[in-house]
Structure 1
Amino acid sequence: MRNSQGRELRFSPLSASANSLREKHQIKEAIPTRSARELLENNVLIVGPAWIGDMVMSQCLYRLLKQRDSALQIDVLAPDWSRPLLEHMPEVRHIYSMPLTHGQLGLLARYRLGKRLRQQHYRQAIVLPNSFKSALIPWFAKIPLRTGWRGEMRYGLINDLRILDKQKYPLMIDRFMALGLPAGEACPVNPPWPKLAVTESEAQEILEKFHCPKDHRKILALCPGAQFGPAKCWPSEHFAALANHYLEAGWQVWLLGAKDDLAAAVTIQQKTQERCVSFIGQTTLSDVMALLSNVDGVVCNDSGLMHIAAALNVPLVAIYGSSSPTFTPPLSRQVRILWLKKSCSPCFKRICPEDHYHCLTEITPEIVSRAIEELQGF
């Protein structure tokens, strides 16, 4: 049976021993369950983060909420670019695109969207970003319970205000999941990691789109970019040397990334005699996910594509330089993290303060190749 919203209503059956008596006297009785109204309001709005990797990691929260209440309906308010990611998270019901660009206040636009969301009767909003403006729409939507970390002094906007204990919640996924738990409750020891769902048809269609039918050769994907800056990027020359090694071994080598990574792609192609297949600057986020689902291994910097590859459970080598895997590691059992832990690392700078980039240059192609060979499935 379905309500006016098209949602299935489930009622508990009568016990077998009492069925005949109740049918005889036409007694209508059911074990108490949620009413249609309660089902309608068994929903939460989550204000998602603004970066690819963070958005992938936010799926830990969605999966945890579903584990605790399978009937819960989860809607996400997030930047429009993140829609392809969220569409591959089966836990998410509706996606609302943020009508503003990153950093824009847009008070009137936020008010209008919040007012429109009032009709959804959300019981709770969970605000993952720490910014003041990210808490405005749930407040405008008059959602009764608005949960978030204190962040930018959001008293009033957030009425379930949590004070972050960084020792108790050391990882970003811990901080996301904690907001979906009662205050003070510990996160699960074995949390549900991100798991993006790419279908077989999507994986096949992307090959047809780019006219690259799969053959007997294994495929290594190289992702040479990182949003933050060169201090997070393994040298293009190292990527090229690694590509040459696997090309000589009979592999296909694909290059994946955004338009900002075109310079790295040019260097790699020059040093590999144009033998790599470069998709850099030609793909949507949906395309990248579908392409990655076809490969046998990935080498990434600390980037959004690293987290996507991990969530697709593709064998992954993750290279860290100026950043650290202790806060936002790739969440997969098929991963090797390469981090030299130099005395100057992590510095979290865009450009190497010492101007030598040893934390990256001293991770040689041979080290990465050995890590690839260690991974299961190679």
Structure 2
Amino acid sequence: MHRILIIAPNWIGDAVMSQPFLVRLQLNYPKAQIDILATPWVAPIYRACEQIHEVIEAPLEHKKLQWSLRKQLAQRLKAKSYQACFVLPNSFKSALIPWLANIPFRLGYRGEARFGLINFALTNPSKTERPPMVEHYLALANLLNHEELEDSGHAQAPSLQISLEIVRSMQDKLKRTNINQDSLYVFCPGAEYGVTKRWPAESFAELAKKVLAQNTQAQIILLGSQNDHHLGQMITGQDGKRIHNWCGQTSLDEAMAIISLCKTIVSNDSGLMHIAAALRKPQIAIFGSSDPQHTPPLSDKAKVIWLNLPCSPCHHRECPLGHLKCLKEISPEQVFNSLTA
């Protein structure tokens, strides 16, 4: 196998959790060049994966077929003569490009109506039987192998390598803003999935108040997307001089660099949570409707707070019972005590 293509997942957290799969793939095919087709949203994750030779960015949108674009991409990829393609998402449209590009081995899980598009497939486990996401992706790496590697039973934690140029750029920005990285906390109040993954902004604000009162040198940067900016505004009301709302003000590359420089990070179950784990930063990860057994932050420096109520994990975007107790009953005091323990 000389050239392998990967179709990347569309969520940042899933992209991070696919990195051990890349390590295994490189071990299985040490002479192969591994490229990845990714949206601009997750491409920075793969630029931080040393196993990837080329990141091919494409503006593929969620829930849109974009037939013309997919045909154009297939023609471009056909010229590269890939021998195999691993399709990490389960959707029909994600399997179209390698099929149109006539890549001989097209590997993935049996997804939505893609018989024939994927010609080497694993059965998708049910929600009640699914393994942790890292193991879910790892299983694909050995799909063409009759014999597994000796260490294949041990899923390694994701690891990212951020560009030194971006790190230095963010260090300069912190200095210009008079933020000492040794006393820098990062809070990530958002979660793209929905409100059932977001600890209330009021709770983040109360936690910020406690952190700043305990450490007079501490400053807090809020990271997230533009959609999270309004949450950040609610939190900065505690102290506009020492809390900096950078939600929507940084690229993902820059956010990753800032996380790599901070003292501690507090986040919801989100893509930034997985990035912090892959960078091995001390962190508090707050879970609500999701399952920390399935998508945990894989780091010995991570502490998970999850109430494990009878109604959770429900995996709904809106609380089906209307009370959101799984998040609202996690107190700022509980998180603060975990932060300072």
Q: Provide TM-score, normalisation by structure 1.
A: 0.83
Matched residue type, 1:354? L
Q: Does 1:301 align with 2:268?
A: yes
Q: Does 1:242 align with 2:242?
A: no
- Residue correspondence of structure 1 range 359-378 to structure 2 within 5 A: 359-374=326-341
The residue aligned with 2:222 is 255
Change (3 A) 1:310 1:151: same
The residue aligned with 1:147 is 107
Where 2:232 maps in the other structure, the secondary structure is helix
Residue 276 of structure 1 and its aligned partner are, at CA, apart by 0.6
Structure 1 counterpart of 2:189, from 224, 228, 237: 224
Q: Which moved more, 1:357-366 or 1:93-102?
A: 93-102
> 1: CA distance between counterparts of 2:181 and 2:81?
53
Where 1:173 maps in the other structure, the secondary structure is helix
Structure 2 counterpart of 1:162, from 122, 127, 131: 122
Where 1:92 maps in the other structure, the secondary structure is coil
The residue aligned with 2:294 is 327
- Residue correspondence of structure 1 range 165-184 to structure 2 within 5 A: 165=125, 170-182=131-143
Change (3 A) 1:320 1:125: same
- Matched-pair contact (CA < 8 Å) for 1:138–1:146: yes
- Matched-pair contact (CA < 8 Å) for 1:225–1:261: yes
Matched residue type, 1:83? A
- Of structures 1 and 2, the larger Rg is shown by 1
The residue aligned with 1:209 is 173
State the aligned residue count: 334
Structure 1: gaps (5+ residues)? 1-40
Structure possessing the higher relative contact order (Cα contacts under 8 Å, 6 or more residues apart): 2
Structure 2 counterpart of 1:275, from 242, 263, 276: 242
- Matched-pair contact (CA < 8 Å) for 2:233–2:245: no
- Matched-pair contact (CA < 8 Å) for 2:208–2:238: no
The residue aligned with 1:317 is 284
The residue aligned with 2:38 is 78
Structure 1 counterpart of 2:79, from 91, 115, 119: 119
> 2: CA distance between counterparts of 1:69 and 1:370?
46
Matched residue type, 1:145? F
Change (3 A) 1:346 1:56: same
Where 2:304 maps in the other structure, the secondary structure is strand
- Matched-pair contact (CA < 8 Å) for 2:5–2:82: yes
Q: Does 1:59 align with 2:3?
A: no
- Matched-pair contact (CA < 8 Å) for 1:118–1:143: yes
Where 1:293 maps in the other structure, the secondary structure is helix
Q: Per-residue displacement from partner, 1:85-129 (whole Å, max 9, x unpaired)?
A: 211111111111234322211223212211221222211110111
Give runs of ≥4 in structure 1 deviating > 6 Å. 183-187
The residue aligned with 1:46 is 6
Change (3 A) 1:203 1:213: farther
Matched residue type, 1:230? V
Matched residue type, 2:10? A
> 1: CA distance between counterparts of 2:320 and 2:289?
10
- Matched-pair contact (CA < 8 Å) for 1:155–1:161: no
- Matched-pair contact (CA < 8 Å) for 2:229–2:245: no
Matched residue type, 2:256? M
Matched residue type, 1:316? Q
Where 1:179 maps in the other structure, the secondary structure is helix
Structure 2: gaps (5+ residues)? none
Residue 201 of structure 1 and its aligned partner are, at CA, apart by 4.2
Q: Which moved more, 1:250-259 or 1:167-176?
A: 167-176
Q: Provide TM-score, normalisation by structure 2.
A: 0.91
> 1: CA distance between counterparts of 2:67 and 2:238?
50
Structure 2 counterpart of 1:189, from 153, 166, 169: 153
- Residue correspondence of structure 1 range 83-98 to structure 2 within 5 A: 83-98=43-58
> 2: CA distance between counterparts of 1:89 and 1:356?
40
Q: Does 1:102 align with 2:62?
A: yes
> 1: CA distance between counterparts of 2:238 and 2:273?
24
Structure 1 counterpart of 2:92, from 132, 146, 153: 132
- Matched-pair contact (CA < 8 Å) for 1:65–1:72: no
- Matched-pair contact (CA < 8 Å) for 1:217–1:252: no
- Matched-pair contact (CA < 8 Å) for 1:257–1:280: yes
Residue 339 of structure 1 and its aligned partner are, at CA, apart by 0.5
Matched residue type, 1:203? V
